[in-house]
Copies of this chain bind each other. A is one copy, B any other.
Amino acid sequence: MSDLLERLRGRGWRLTAQRRVVAEVLNGDHVHYTADEVHAKAAELLPEISRATVYNTLGELVSLGEIMEVSTDGRAKRYDPNAHHAHQHLVCSQCGTIRDVHPTGDLLAVLPAEERFGFQVAAVEVTYRGMCPNCSAA
């Protein structure tokens, strides 16, 4: 993630303070913040950053394939910096905690040709749902 800014500069991005702090906030594994969470955390580092800039920057990072958009709850979209390693998500039905997980096998292969209706199927998103250890205990 640290070379993200370099990659982006190579693509013609201007390296502004705002884009730096958004990248900083998204640094790390198992990060699944909403846009407004990103904005709140970015504002701790750069108080005058606006919501619009955060939304713009997240949208651009998604277009560039640097982060993934995840919507596991039908509410706010979340942003997952772990976009360079294929993975799926495991979500707690109670508290909403999200874990990155790695199912085995070819998830596309289990959809038979006669169930494709002429689509050119390109991608699969899987959400596993269940109770996390914390919520099970409570």
Which residues of A approach B to under 8 Å, CB–CB?
Answer: 69, 71, 74, 77, 90, 92-93, 99, 101-105, 107-108, 110-112, 115-133, 136
CB pair A110 B115 closer than 8 Å? no
**Complex CA–CA separation, A126 to B107 (angstroms):** 9
**Complex CA–CA separation, A104 to B115 (angstroms):** 10
Residues of B within 8 A of A127 (CB): 124-126
Q: Which residue of B lies closest to A101 (CB)?
A: B115
**Complex CA–CA separation, A52 to B54 (angstroms):** 33
CB pair B118 A123 closer than 8 Å? no
CB pair A121 B129 closer than 8 Å? yes
Residues of B within 8 A of A99 (CB): 117, 119
Using A121-B130, A124-B129 as known contacts, list a sample of 17 further A-B pairs with CB atoms less than 8 Å apart, ordered by residue number in A: A71-B71, A74-B77, A101-B111, A101-B117, A103-B112, A108-B128, A116-B130, A117-B132, A119-B128, A119-B133, A120-B131, A121-B128, A121-B129, A123-B130, A124-B126, A125-B127, A126-B126
Residues of B within 8 A of A108 (CB): 128
A-B contact pairs, 18 of them (CB 8 A): A69-B74, A90-B117, A93-B122, A99-B117, A99-B119, A101-B111, A107-B110, A107-B126, A118-B136, A119-B130, A121-B128, A121-B129, A123-B129, A123-B130, A124-B126, A124-B128, A125-B127, A126-B127
